[in-house]
Amino acid sequence: DAGVTQSPTHLIKTRGQQVTLRCSPKSGHDTVSWYQQALGQGPQFIFQYYEEEERQRGNFPDRFSGHQFPNYSSELNVNALLLGDSALYLCASNRLEGLAGGISYNEQFFGPGTRLTVL
């Protein structure tokens, strides 16, 4: 059973360019979250996708956008790249389930990440 996979592993871009990162969730999972981890920092939540829609969003500008496909895989797009966008981008997946009175938390499984370098 494959876990969360991400592509590419590494990426080098220049300022102003656009980039697309890809994520395939763990089998059986329907929800994908994206995190940005700058060097020496903890991961920061970018957004989450469920049923092909953005369910939650962190404090990131509109240059960061995403998409989820019917097979639950997801893309993260970043436009007009800045030097400060250099980071490890992590994808996490889980299965969203509803319980009476609210939504339970299911463990998020993280992929190995994509290392983006902006020159």
Which of 15-23, 42-50, 66-74, 79-87 is the region at the interface with other proteins (rule: CB under 8 A)? 42-50
Q: Which is nearer to other proteins, 14 or 106 (CB)?
A: 106
Residue pair 113/7 in contact (Cβ under 8 Å)? The answer is no
Quickly count: other Cβ atoms within 10 Å of residue 78's Cβ.
Answer: 24
CA distance 49 to 58: 12
Near other proteins by CB under 8 A: residue from 11, 22, 44, 67 = 44
Determine how β-strand 87-94 pairs with β-strand 31-37: antiparallel
40 binds other proteins (CB under 8 A): yes
Q: Which stretch binds other proteins (CB under 8 A): 18-26, 32-40, 64-72, 75-83?
A: 32-40
Cis peptide bond upstream of 25, omega within 30: no
Give the footprint of other proteins on residues 56-115 (CB under 8 A): 56, 58, 90, 92, 94, 96, 102-103, 105-113
CB of residue 6 to other proteins, shortest distance in Å: 8
Contact 64, 81 (CB under 8 A): no
Give the span between the Cα atoms of 20 and 1, in whole angstroms.
25
Nearer to other proteins, 48 or 74 (CB): 48
Q: Based on CB atoms, which residue is closest to other proteins, 16 or 113?
A: 113
